[in-house]
Amino acid sequence: MPRAATLSLLCCLPGALHGQRVTKAAPTDTGPTTAAITPADLRRRLYVFAADSMMGRAAGTADNLRATAYIERELRRLGLVPGGDGGSFFQQVPLVRRGVGQDAALTIDGVDGARFVAGRDFLVRDPGAAQRSVDGAATVYGGTWGDSSTYVAPAAANGKLVVVDVRRGWEADRAHLLKRYRGAAGIAVASYDSMPPDVRGALSDTPVSLADGEAPVVTTGATPAPVFLYVTRALRAALLGAPGRTVRGDVAFGDQPAPARNVVAILPGSDPAMRGQYVALGAHNDHVGYTRNPVDHDSMRAVLTVARPLGADSPERPLTAAQQRRVRALTDSLHRAHGGARPDSIYNGADDDGSGSMALLEIAEQLASLPTAPKRSIVFVWHTGEELGLYGSQWFTDHPTVPRDSIVAQLNMDMIGRGSASDVTGGGPAYLQLIGSRRLSTELGDLIERVNRETDAGFRFDYAYDANGHPEQYYCRSDHYEYARYGIPITFFSTGGHRDYHEVTDEPQYIDYDHYARVTTLVRDVAVRIANLDHRLVVDRAKPDPHGECRQ
């Protein structure tokens, strides 16, 4: 599930370790899965899908392609029908990575043999607009930001690369600098060395956006903006070593295709009159990748346990003295149990949303094993780019591979592997959150309640997060909404947030596999009940504007 607000930077914790990555042990009970939905099967699958080798499955990366290839291999083995592009299981989603090229570098006339490389000697900020070139620009010293008596006149900066110092730290008012020196070829702030490693890493990881309108749009004929750089002290000295030195090189941002794909599979219905209708089941295949600034896994988990019960959604406040003592004690205990510190850099995303993705595979395997399929067809969709802003589900619903009006309902699973009392208030073996189940179809909400009773699933549904205006806005934050905006009845199944949300500690070892299997089974039962109805679910609530803003 994506953050409600901009993803915060990884906090620096006591015992943080840099430049290393821990390799966690794989489970010992590996082997083939069975036709039944079982905790053991889900565990086997999740330890593959959320392994360190998947590197956090960020959309638009080779790591996500590796994860989706695993899903595709399983679907072929199970004998499902490809539902993607051109008879394949993949639907390509046009993402672009906006950033500088891997070989971006600067040289300076008069500095023989020196080549300054992006990511090592400088970082480039994305202006969200066309940029000027600094190739051939002379340098000029712009002064120390915050001391106006040292500023160079704007006219003297026109067409030049302006080098600016900062009084302390690494931050400078970028907007004001760009406004003051809007005629410059570029602005170089000499603060790279004092920039925290996590900030440096975050700025190096350029965003991925949809190509068809979501990427920053450059208006034809718009005035290009100056290139904005953070540079090292060494590069600053080279730039200002002599008056008017000339820079060579191209470091402007540009859009490069980023590989991204939904995985789509179909189990054809058994009733010739109904198989042209579909029950859609979904989860997202991506997570948020990895950090260049590893932390000690156990000290991170201690901080999360003591002070951040919602993980990355928790307010980032300094620890009190009492909390620091508890964190130290818990960290020491974990270190003793694990033989010392364990550096960790990978956001495995076991619950978010390895749990939903592997539940889909388990449901697919179980339904494919039946002697007679449900009457309506089932379409399974593993969406990409959910963490970036629901890009894969937006693409699928805007460009569906089955007729959109043939989809009678969509059931979305995101974070269904936890839900204990230590994870969420009121949690326990019977805990399950439902969101959106009656927002378009009262019948769908009633049906889920009935299935829960009649199958003795025993869940106690928490509807609190479905309330209109709820601050967490879960109805708008996962893939189901992209279906709901077109008037397709949906339900979002989740066991809720927890301390490991969007942290490196979201790993398979912390999943409650018995609870997870029971949720998976319930979703299977609901899907089958919808697929076998003698009528389409009745939509008795107002449909939203498919191109409007989501409001919970």
Burial environment of residue 203 by CB neighbours within 10 A (0 to 12, 13 to 18, 19 or more):
middle
Burial environment of residue 5 by CB neighbours within 10 A (0 to 12, 13 to 18, 19 or more):
exposed
Q: Is the pLDDT of residue 214 over 90?
A: no
pLDDT tens, position by position, 21-43: 444 545 545 578 999 999 999 99
| Per-residue pLDDT at 203 | 73
Structural domains of the chain in order of their starting residue, each with its CATH number? 39-93+260-290+348-531 (3.40.630.10), 98-257 (3.50.30.30)
Classified as helix, coil or strand, 30 is coil
Phi-psi region of 239 (alpha: psi -120 to 50; beta: other; left: phi over 0): alpha
Residue pair 360/382 in contact (Cβ under 8 Å)? The answer is yes
| Per-residue pLDDT at 30 | 59
326/315 Cα distance (integer angstroms): 19
Closest CA to 480 of 472, 489, 471: 489
The tokens for 548 are: 């409007």
Q: What residues contact residue 492 under an 8 Å CB cut-off, 6+ apart?
A: 412, 414, 433, 434, 435, 436, 474, 475, 478, 480
Say which DSSP state 24 is in.
P
Distances from the Cα of 114 to the Cαs of 111, 234, 238, in angstroms? Answer: 6, 11, 9
Q: Is the pLDDT of residue 220 over 60?
A: no
Q: Is the pLDDT of residue 207 over 70?
A: no
- pLDDT tier at 7 (50, 70, 90 boundaries)? very low
pLDDT tens, position by position, 363-408: 999 999 999 999 999 999 999 999 998 999 999 999 999 999 999 9
50/351 Cα distance (integer angstroms): 9
Q: Within 13 Å and on the Cβ side, how many CA atoms surround 110?
A: 14
pLDDT tens, position by position, 84-120: 999 999 999 988 877 777 678 999 998 988 899 998 9
Q: What residues contact residue 206 under an 8 Å CB cut-off, 6+ apart?
A: 97, 98, 99, 126, 253
Please give the average per-residue pLDDT across 534-552, as a whole number: 94
Residue pair 415/356 in contact (Cβ under 8 Å)? The answer is yes
| Per-residue pLDDT at 12 | 26
Q: Is the pLDDT of residue 346 over 60?
A: yes
Residue pair 245/110 in contact (Cβ under 8 Å)? The answer is yes
Residue pair 416/494 in contact (Cβ under 8 Å)? The answer is yes
Q: Which residues pair with 282 in a beta bridge?
A: 381, 412
Residue pair 21/53 in contact (Cβ under 8 Å)? The answer is no
Average pLDDT of the chain is 89
- pLDDT tier at 222 (50, 70, 90 boundaries)? low
* Phi, psi torsion values for 278, nearest 5 degrees: -135, 140
299/203 Cα distance (integer angstroms): 25
Residue pair 1/478 in contact (Cβ under 8 Å)? The answer is yes
Q: Is the pLDDT of residue 462 over 90?
A: yes
16/222 Cα distance (integer angstroms): 45
280/483 Cα distance (integer angstroms): 10
Residue pair 266/75 in contact (Cβ under 8 Å)? The answer is no
Closest CA to 278 of 443, 400, 385: 400
| Per-residue pLDDT at 200 | 80
238/241 Cα distance (integer angstroms): 5
Classified as helix, coil or strand, 292 is strand
H or E stretch covering 447? helix 442-454
The tokens for 123 are: 């970082």
| Per-residue pLDDT at 27 | 53
Q: Which residues pair with 494 in a beta bridge?
A: 433
Percent of the chain whose pLDDT exceeds 70: 90
Place of tokens 């599979």: 265
pLDDT tens, position by position, 469-518: 998 899 999 999 999 999 999 999 999 999 999 999 999 999 999 999 99
